[in-house]
Amino acid sequence: SGELYYEDLRGLKKEERKARVEAFTLADKAKGFRLAEDALLRISILQTGDETYHFIWSFHHILMDGWCLSFMTQEVFGSYLALRAGHEPALEPVTPFSRFIEWLERQDREAALQYWRGYLADYEQQITLPQQKAQPKSMHTGEYVAEDLDCEFQPELVAQIERVAKQNQVTINTLI
């Protein structure tokens, strides 16, 4: 389930509206999501004019990744535009997720285990991503601090990574 929030800002002066939208957006982003307590999807609509709105769509990454986000965006806004034009939205039929779970439960776990044991039998190295040689001080104290790590890839490798991700219908993040 999700949350829907609406606020009419038309009574505010232009600069106040702009400040309210920016403050609301920052607060919504900072709010994050608590899996056990919150709805994992929030839609907020801030009306800034008679026919202008600021639309904020926040969701937990457990619901959507970069791969399906483009499909969802196309469906949501495609449906909106169709309804505005007085047409019935045309949506592709979808396979229920429950069908995948049913298929997964029918799989032979022992056969899968044997397959991966054989596949990885001669594999002796641990794969690690490029990293700093010295751990940040924060790692020693047990406190997590997000840091960026820049790696340069040749354009050919980037194209191959993108192609493999697309062929397997996963995001580059998932592939890596």
Q: Would you say residue 23 has pLDDT above 90?
A: yes
pLDDT confidence tier of residue 131, bands split at 50, 70 and 90 = low
pLDDT digits 0-9 by tens, 94-130: 889 899 999 999 999 999 999 988 888 887 777 666 5
Question: What was the pLDDT predicted at 64?
Answer: 82
Torsion on CA atoms 127, 131, 136, 139, rounded to nearest 10: -20
